[in-house]
Structure 1
Amino acid sequence: MASSLLIMQARLASSRLAQKALLPIYAGKPSLLYAMQGVYGVADAHVLACDVASFSSFEPIAQEAGFAIMAGDADDVLARFAHVAKEYKVDYVIRATADNLIVGQELVRLALDGAIDSDADYFCFEATAHGSGVEVIRRTVLLDAYANASSPFEREHVTPYIYGHPQRYKVIKPVVESRFFAPDLRSTLDTPEDYTRLVEFFTHRAFPSQTIIEEYIAWMRSNLYQMSL
């Protein structure tokens, strides 16, 4: 059976929404905690990969969520992921981000199963709500990208080198099944408007929830949200 490691990236610096990882979402708890709790348990190990400047603020939150924590370069996020991956001898790495709270365990498991079943080097569902996806990367491919990616964009965003070289890697990007299909909706936490919307959503819902994406899509539709990306 294939082994897996979930790495969630996070940092305090944010130009559009200051220190968004520490903003309270529900019951006074920070958004970072909810992001981690929402996907905890889907992999054999879970690590928060942050920058050095964020480590002291994030360490107690990671401990509460059951995540290990490692710190690295603020801008070379690919290096952060590679350094964590070198410590965990798994088959696949799941990439998650702290500003995506509307993911849930089921979709992560479907993506991991999809990667394993298709023998993919890179697997990601398309047409989810913006901010509801994860990427699954073969660990050896992640390390290969780390060794070869050279542009600042490739280093900052972790996976562009991989899916940008389909002749080198097996890249699988299927459209997500209908119950998760919402390419017109926005679920990420990146602006003050995002924050207001997510606080409103979480106010009356149990968390974490196995059906969080479906609940969110239904709530957005019922409130006639049509979010531009």
Structure 2
Amino acid sequence: MADRLVCIIQARLNSSRLPGKVLKPLGGQPVLAHVINRCRAIGGVQSVVVAAVDAEDERPVAELAQSLGVPVVRGSEHDVLTRYHMAAEAQEADHVMRVTADCPVLDPALVTELVAHYHHRRPDHACLAHWPHGINAEIFPRALLDTMHATATAPGDREHVTLWVTRQADRRRLALCPATEARLDHAYRLTLDYEEDYRVLSRLASLMGPSFTTATCAEFMAMLDADPALKAINQAAGEDWRARDRVIRQAPDGAAPAARAQAVEVVRTATGLPRSTPAGPLSAAR
């Protein structure tokens, strides 16, 4: 079976909550540059491509990616699913990894482990789940992307790319989760969606210096644990985001019901956890 895995980073400037966030300076580089460099460090990825918006005021996103030697596909702002399909076709992908450009501290080691589980178990969809928001990646076969592109009609499914598959109870899904029952995405926030998020990431970049560009999820969590005031800055933003996410994930009229929880195969790992967090060895799927 062909295994060309292409990492597609969706990026746009026109964010309603934090305009221009993907080009904001962070530790001496634009946010998007951090995302690209971390995606390039993921094991098993054959190509990284940016799926940008085809609008004149969005041109700086494409220009930055191209200056870093990354191919760019440009398409509809809101039909992100079509942008993914265009990018997968252009790169002749057999498998697709979805990454968003507001995740400048994505952990390549965690995603590399996800890649290994994906190739070993061959699910229809694999993701990192319950890690801090901002440590996010999804993988799925090109054939599933083709099906989603041809089948999904709800605007939310076109914009959020993989919502459609989460409602398909017959699809095999895999989640790589922390080896702890705690929801790390409720305790830590490492994404860039609000001004408060930018304050936290900028402070981390200032405190960590050059090591910010290669720091792991565990190191970022340890830094936040050492500074409760800093950790608390973007918690309100996290609550707002979770409320919006619940609305986004509501099935549109006529859509298939959500997949049953037991349809998701869970693999737990100690990778990416700070030393102070109880963690067991990588377990078999349960």
Is the 2:27–2:202 Cα contact (8 Å) retained in structure 1?
yes
Q: Indicate the SS of the match to 1:136.
A: strand
CA-CA distance at 1:60 after TM superposition? 2.9
Is the 2:11–2:100 Cα contact (8 Å) retained in structure 1?
yes
2:119 matched residue in structure 1: 116
Give CA deviations for 1:130-153 in whole Å, capped at 9, x if unaligned.
111100111110111110011011
Aligned residue pairs total: 225
* TM-score where L is the length of structure 1: 0.91
2:6 matched residue in structure 1: 5
Q: Where do 1:34-113 residues align within 5 Å?
A: 34-42=34-42, 43-53=45-55, 55-113=58-116
TM superposition outliers: structure 1 runs of 4+ over 6 Å: none
Q: Does residue 1:220 correspond to 2:221, yes or no?
A: no
Q: Does residue 1:208 correspond to 2:213, yes or no?
A: yes
CA distance in 1, matches of 2:72, 2:176: 31
Pairwise CA RMSD: 1.8
1:171 matched residue in structure 2: 173
* TM-score where L is the length of structure 2: 0.74
CA distance 1:197–1:217, shift in 2 (3 Å): same
Give CA deviations for 1:138-195 in whole Å, capped at 9, x if unaligned.
111011111001101110000011121031x2111242345x9722211110111100
Higher relative contact order (CA 8 A, sep 6+): 1
CA distance in 2, matches of 1:166, 1:208: 39
Q: Percent identity?
A: 27
Letter matched to residue 17 of structure 1: L
CA distance in 1, matches of 2:54, 2:178: 35
Is the 2:31–2:104 Cα contact (8 Å) retained in structure 1?
yes
CA distance in 1, matches of 2:114, 2:37: 18
Letter matched to residue 26 of structure 2: I
Give CA deviations for 1:33-67 in whole Å, capped at 9, x if unaligned.
11111211431011000111255202331124331
CA-CA distance at 1:68 after TM superposition? 0.8
Letter matched to residue 160 of structure 1: L
Letter matched to residue 91 of structure 1: D
Q: Does residue 1:16 correspond to 2:17, yes or no?
A: yes
Q: Which runs of 5+ in 1 are unaligned?
A: none
Letter matched to residue 6 of structure 2: L
CA distance in 2, matches of 1:102, 1:201: 11
Q: Which is higher, the Rg of structure 1 or of structure 2?
A: 2
Q: Indicate the SS of the match to 2:184.
A: coil
CA distance in 2, matches of 1:176, 1:147: 34
